């Protein structure tokens, strides 16, 4: 039945001629698709809960866990998938919320909030489900936070504080238009400390903008304040230098031709490591900044950098790190704490060369090592295979 419904929905969307729709008809379609979206999310959530309870897992060890698999399947971040997975497990033990999910009354974010609060106080479920029908996500979150706080004992408060501290994180992501986003999650006293540190910078920037007749939005002022705080900390803190290096350093990768020309063409790069592409004009502006380390590439054939030993020389390490910004296994987008790996192990005659070296996340590195696997495929689309399949493919290519 589900297969038929998916096929019908696919046909409906493929045949949708929006140019012939009136405004009223378009409005009705939006409402209908929104309901379908909630029902689809609800069905996926209930099935995910059963999958987790069964202990079967994703069925493919190229994924670290169900969260990683669900993120790949749904096109979301692992963090978002992890939150959905937790909600899917909780909802199985919450009859009121379970019924609301089955009826399509709750969206994914609403379900995550309500199940979390209901776990703390089961009696609050009916009122929270009702509130979700009228309040926005922000209002529902505030009420759920109140429910959790009111239900917590001293021991629970301590346990919650420990859990929040243990799950602290700071993520930096970028979008195609060059925007960067920092998401900081952790104990509220620590995040409040960061905001308090910004306050004098915000006040100074606000006053300067006001005198210039250019009053920016408070969020924009806070952004400028955070950037100023980072620069000030790197430049003037007594412990700003360790071993002669700035406390904060950004690695800028830029092709020499692009730097001289003023813009990039296909095949060239100009980007901040871990953040993504930037205009060459921005590279010019950063060029005089003490916290920027520019790595200019001039077309040198790094593929010829080879050493007879196991250790990786600095030039080759830089080449590998510049080429592999994320784990090279297809579908894995982990970009932090990557590990350089010999595809054919050094102990088995593998060379310490650019062709034989790649960066892997800890999970895929461990799977490859434990099972004595090899990486096979074009850059960015590699998969793990056994040595027989690898050698067969290598012979065919030769």
Residues belonging to the chain: 398
**Based on the domain organization, do 56 and 102 belong to the same domain?**
yes
Clarify whether residues 254 and 288 are in a common domain: yes
Tell me, yes or no, whether 167 lies in a domain.
Answer: no
Same domain, 388 and 280: no
Answer yes or no: do 40 and 124 share one domain: yes
CB contact set of 381 (below 8 Å; sequence gap of 6+): 330
Element (H, E) at 276: strand 276-277
Domain count, the chain: 4
Residue 372 maps to a domain? yes
**Do 310 and 280 belong together in one domain?**
no
The pLDDT score that the predictor gives to residue 308 is 38
Do the beta carbons of residue 303 and residue 354 sit within 8 Å? yes
| Domain identity same for 350 and 287 | no
The verdict on 206 and 317 lying in the same domain is no
pLDDT at 128 over 90: yes
At residue 113, the pLDDT reads 93
Quote the mean pLDDT of the chain. Answer: 80
End-to-end CA distance of the chain: 48
Angle at which helix 108-120 crosses helix 23-54, to 10 degrees, equals 50
In a domain, 3, yes or no: no
Q: Kindly state whether residue 160 falls inside one of the protein's structural domains.
A: no
The domain boundary, picked from 125, 151, 177, lies at 151
Q: Is residue 243 part of a domain?
A: no
Q: Give domain status of residue 178, yes or no.
A: no
Convert the pLDDT of each residue in 129-142 to its tens digit: 999 988 888 888 88
In degrees and rounded to multiples of 5, residue 295 shows phi and psi of -110, 95
Are 268 and 223 part of one and the same domain?
Answer: no
Which of 184-188, 285-289, 377-381 shows the highest mean pLDDT? 184-188
Chain segment 63-116, per-residue pLDDT in tens: 888 888 888 888 888 888 898 899 999 999 999 999 999 988 898 899 999 999
- Cα dihedral across residues 295, 298, 304, 305: positive or negative: negative
Same domain, 332 and 273: no
- Quick check: 171 pLDDT over 70? yes
pTM exceeds 0.75: no
Instruction: Assess whether 48 and 146 both reside in one domain.
Output: yes
> Residue 325 falls within a domain, yes or no?
yes
Which of 35-49, 266-280, 281-295, 317-331 bottoms out in mean pLDDT, i.e. has the lowest? 281-295
Tell me, yes or no, whether 196 and 143 share the same domain: no
332 in the same domain as 262: no
Domain that holds residue 283: 249-297
Residue 99 lies in a domain: yes
Query: Residue 378 carries which DSSP code?
Result: S
Query: What are the backbone dihedrals phi and psi of residue 340, each rounded to the nearest 5 degrees, phi first?
Result: -80, 130
How high is the pLDDT of residue 242? 43
What tokens appear for 336 in the block? 């932090």
pLDDT reading at 394 higher than 80: no
């Amino acid at each position: 039945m589900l297969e038929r419904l998916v096929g019908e929905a696919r046909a409906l969307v493929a045949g949708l001629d929006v140019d012939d729709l009136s405004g009223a008809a378009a409005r009705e379609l939006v409402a209908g698709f929104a309901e379908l979206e909630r029902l689809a999310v609800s069905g996926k959530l209930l099935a995910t809960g059963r999958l987790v309870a069964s202990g079967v897992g994703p069925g493919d060890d190229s994924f670290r866990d169900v969260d990683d698999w669900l993120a790949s399947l749904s096109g979301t971040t692992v963090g978002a998938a992890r939150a959905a997975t937790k909600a899917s497990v909780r909802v199985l033990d919450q009859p009121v919320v379970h019924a609301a999910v089955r009826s399509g009354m709750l969206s994914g974010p609403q379900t995550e909030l309500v199940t979390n609060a209901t776990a703390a106080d089961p009696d609050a479920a009916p009122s929270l489900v009702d509130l979700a029908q009228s309040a926005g996500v922000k209002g529902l979150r505030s009420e759920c936070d109140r429910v959790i706080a009111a239900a917590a004992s001293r021991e629970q408060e301590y346990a919650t504080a420990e859990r929040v501290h243990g799950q602290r994180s700071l993520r930096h992501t970028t979008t195609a238009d060059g925007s960067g986003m920092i998401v900081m999650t952790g104990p509220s006293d620590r995040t409040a400390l960061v905001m308090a540190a910004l306050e004098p910078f915000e006040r100074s920037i606000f006053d300067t903008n006001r005198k210039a007749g250019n009053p920016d939005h408070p969020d924009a002022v806070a952004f400028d304040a955070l950037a100023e705080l980072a620069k000030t900390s790197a430049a003037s803190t007594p412990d700003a230098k360790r071993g002669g290096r700035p406390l904060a350093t950004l690695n800028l990768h830029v092709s020499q031709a692009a730097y001289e020309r003023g813009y990039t063409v296909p095949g060239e790069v100009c980007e901040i490591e871990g953040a993504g592409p930037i205009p060459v004009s921005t590279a010019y502006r950063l060029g005089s900044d003490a916290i920027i380390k520019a790595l200019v590439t001039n077309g040198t054939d790094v593929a010829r950098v080879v050493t007879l030993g196991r250790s990786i020389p600095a030039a080759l390490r830089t080449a590998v790190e510049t080429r592999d910004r994320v784990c090279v296994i297809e579908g894995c987008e982990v970009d932090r704490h990557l590990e350089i790996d010999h595809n054919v192990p050094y102990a088995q005659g593998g060379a310490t060369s650019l062709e034989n070296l790649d960066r892997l996340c800890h999970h895929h590195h461990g799977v490859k090592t434990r099972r004595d696997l090899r990486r096979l495929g074009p850059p960015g689309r590699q998969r793990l295979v056994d040595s027989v399949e690898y050698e067969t493919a290598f012979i065919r290519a030769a």
